[in-house]
Amino acid sequence: MVYLDPDREREYQKEYREKHKERLSAYFKEYRKKNKERIATKKKEWHEANRDKVLARIRKWRKNNPDYNRQYAKANKESIAHNRREWVKKNQWRRAKIEAKREAIKISALLPTTDFDLINKFYRERDLISRETSIQHHVDHIIPLSKGGAHHQDNLQIITATENLSKHDKYDPSLGGVWANNELAKVTKTNLGI
Residue of 171, 178, 169, 183 whose CA lies nearest to 112: 178
pTM of the full predicted structure? Answer: 0.57
Residue by residue, pLDDT tens for the chain (194 residues) are 555 778 888 888 889 999 999 999 999 999 999 999 999 999 999 999 999 999 999 999 999 998 888 899 999 999 999 999 998 888 887 888 888 888 888 888 888 999 989 998 999 999 899 999 999 999 999 999 888 999 999 999 999 999 999 988 888 888 888 998 888 888 888 888 88
**pLDDT for the residue numbered 109:** 87
- Which residues in 72-109 are b (16+ Cβ under 10 Å) and which e? eeeeeeeeeeeeeeeeeeeeebeebbeebbeebeebbb
**Helix 6-19 with 21-34: angle, nearest 10 deg:** 90
Q: For the chain, what are the domain ranges? A: 1-32, 89-192
**pLDDT for the residue numbered 105:** 85
**pLDDT for the residue numbered 53:** 93
**pLDDT for the residue numbered 78:** 94
